[in-house]
Amino acid sequence: MTALNVLVVDEFDSDRVLERTLRQHGCEVATLKLQELDMLRIVQTLHPDVVVLNLYTPTEPILKTIVEINQSYSLPVVMFAEDQQTETINKVIKAGVSAYIVDGLEAKRIKSIVDIAIARFKEHQALKDELKKTKTQLEDRKLVDRAKAILMKSQGFSEEQAYHALRKLAMDRNMAIGEMAKNVISMAELFK
């Protein structure tokens, strides 16, 4: 099994407990101080498996960067912080942080927190992927129904004949039936 590649962004001048603990567990760790660094560019360069932040409170720019990381690279983010205000917690969750740990930077818990955050992230990603797939299938179904209606009206087909014609067109052109339905709808709108 390959070593976990971890990017640690630390606001404190501490004894590097995150880095030391993760290395003891066989992780490859790059630790950077939280200053005016371009975290998005660093993630793009290092391709970490997980990002771990240790800070006093997540500021708006940090939360914005986390959203950008999730949109561009989709990876788990673990945040250790001191700020336990409900408003902050809600903002952090909305930004897509996989684990937000308040006052809990204990060496013996770090690896398990990171592992749990990664597992939760993967489960969340699987749900997002399934939702996207379901939405696509529903949209395709709507397109197929519209295309069938067009074929039924224009060609005098029954619903079954319209479906089989649409399916045959798709197969002959080696394309998905939803894509073929879009083409039929586009052609019908062109000839209106």
Residue 20 and residue 62 in one domain: yes
149-170 in b/e burial notation, b at 16+ Cβ within 10 A?
Answer: ebbbeeeebeeeebbebbeebb
28 DSSP β-pair partners: 5
Q: How many domains does the chain have?
A: 2
Residue 94 and residue 149 in one domain: no
| Least-confidence region, from 7-21, 51-65, 71-85, 140-154 | 7-21
Residue 70 and residue 151 in one domain: no
CB atoms < 10 A from the CB of 77, how many? 25
What is the model's pLDDT at position 105? 80
- Percent of the chain at pLDDT exceeding 90: 57
Q: Which domain range does residue 56 map to? A: 5-105
Classify the C-alpha dihedral 91-95-101-106 as positive or negative: negative
SS3 9: strand
pLDDT tens, residue by residue, 127-186: 999 999 999 999 999 999 999 999 999 999 999 999 999 999 999 999 999 999 999 999
Reported as a pLDDT band with limits 50, 70 and 90, residue 13 is low
Residue 112 in any domain: the answer is: no
Residue 28 in any domain: the answer is: yes
Residue 97 and residue 184 in one domain: no
Mean pLDDT for 83-97 is: 91
Distance CA 122, CA 124 (A): 5
Return the CATH number at 63: 3.40.50.2300
pLDDT tens, residue by residue, 102-114: 977 888 888 999 9
Classify the C-alpha dihedral 175-133-95-62 as positive or negative: negative
Reported as a pLDDT band with limits 50, 70 and 90, residue 83 is confident
Reported as a pLDDT band with limits 50, 70 and 90, residue 17 is confident
